[in-house]
Amino acid sequence: MNLKLSLGLAAAAASLSMSVAAADVDWGVHSDPSESASPMVTGSFVDHYFFSIPAGFNLLASVTVSNNLTVVFTPPVVLPPLVVFQINNGYYTLFSDGGSVGVADGGDIPLGNNWMFDGASGSTVNSVSIGTGDYYYKVWGDAVGVSGGLYTITSAIAPIPEPGTYAMMLAGLGAVGFVAMRRRQRG
């Protein structure tokens, strides 16, 4: 094989290995209590998960975890560890979909930090107070395992109690405390 053909094939292989994969997933109306996805990705990736928050729900909590897998061989097999699935530089962000619903475009507003995830970061839950409307998660990173990478994103919604609910709860606790004090004084 001549040198030009070898260099051309090597360049093509390198550009394919560095391509960016993208998936857009429409969850529709965010269900109660949660939505979840576990895609397998290869190379650099950017995924979007679009959803709508229905009336009555004001709290959105999410977690994304990289499901890394490394095979460690034991003697008598003498081979280096094999990284099957791994994601490096994994991040995700929540956006308010500011116009074209279901399309990540320039009118969208980030509503949180770039939350990092990898196989070592654990399961930190990130929560944001939000209102009814259209939103999406943007998830990105580099899948560097021999089979790419695997991650799980889970998102849950819950209503935030009204201030009057807290007042009623405090009044109820006060009444229970008063009854307990009276019983102790009589007994």
Domains, the chain, ordered by start: 15-160 (2.60.120.1050)
Region of poorest pLDDT, from 127-131, 145-149, 159-163, 177-181: 177-181
Q: How far apart are CA 166 and CA 161, in angstroms?
A: 7
Band (159; pLDDT cuts 50, 70, 90): confident
Alpha helices in the chain (DSSP H): 3-17, 163-186
Q: Cα separations (Å) of 131 from 10, 34, 114, 115, 162?
A: 50, 16, 20, 21, 14
- The pLDDT tens digits for 74-129 are 989 889 999 999 999 999 999 998 766 667 677 788 888 899 987 665 567 888 88
Q: How far apart are CA 123 and CA 63, in angstroms?
A: 6
Q: How far apart are CA 108 and CA 104, in angstroms?
A: 7
pTM (two decimals) = 0.72
